[in-house]
Amino acid sequence: MKKRFVLLTQVHTQITSSNLQSQGRLDIVLHSIITSLFISHVFREDTTLEIICMGPPLKPRRISISYHKEQTLSKKNLKKIIEIALNKCKSNKELEVHPGVFIKEIDVDSYIEEEFIKNELKYCCILDGYGEHISNYRNKFKEILIYKRDLEDEIVFFLGDHEGISKKLRKSLKKSTNRISLGDKIYFTSQVCTILHYELDSIVFLNGEEKLNQISSISDDGDE
């Protein structure tokens, strides 16, 4: 079972300054790449991060980052790779600019409609302060991660930047997503990535042994 984080941002579609905050808060994106895709000494092989850049001056771009055995992403070169990706994107044809890093010009509404709403993905979640608390989803996540872990499916989380997700996109996403809240505190986007990973990692860690025991029990019953 894969995890996908979709980060809807106002990052500029062309980087013209070394001041990260002035480029649509590119700093938020860089922090989120680190917390969503990396843990100590390891790249998360089960996770994809999609960054939807909707700032000026060009049409929106989608940057997709996932594990690749030849990947050399690090904290030191993240900004440079994002800049290269944005500068190389010339059309709506997807382009690989670094092992595991792809970019494509998109229409955001069409992307949401085609990729998520029409596909009717079962496990899409949008972070919403008025949604149901994440603790109430733990049994559902457990079912997905432990008992359906071999399915070719994904758990998808939609995140916003410092400006949040626009009302228009939020309305579209509500048609096909579960609204999840982390409580009454407003966390940084990068912190949200960490919290979500911790929730899912904990479910696997605490319940993996349970599944093994159940499988063993079924096997023993069959032998009898």
What's the CATH code of the domain at 63?
A: 3.40.1280.10
From the CB of residue 106, how many other CB atoms can be counted at a distance below 10 Å? 21
**pLDDT for 84:** 92
**pLDDT for 213:** 53
**pLDDT for 70:** 87
Pairwise CA distance, residues 73 & 98, whole Å: 9
**pLDDT for 215:** 44
Pairwise CA distance, residues 185 & 101, whole Å: 32
**pLDDT for 74:** 86
Q: Please tell me the total count of domains within the chain.
A: 1
Give the residue ranges of the chain where pLDDT is below 70.
Answer: 118-122, 148-152, 208-224
pTM of the model: 0.87
Q: Is the dihedral of CA 84, 48, 162, 109 positive or negative?
A: positive
**pLDDT for 121:** 64
Whole domain around residue 167: which residue ranges?
Answer: 2-223
Pairwise CA distance, residues 82 & 87, whole Å: 9
**38 touches 9 (CB < 8 A):** no
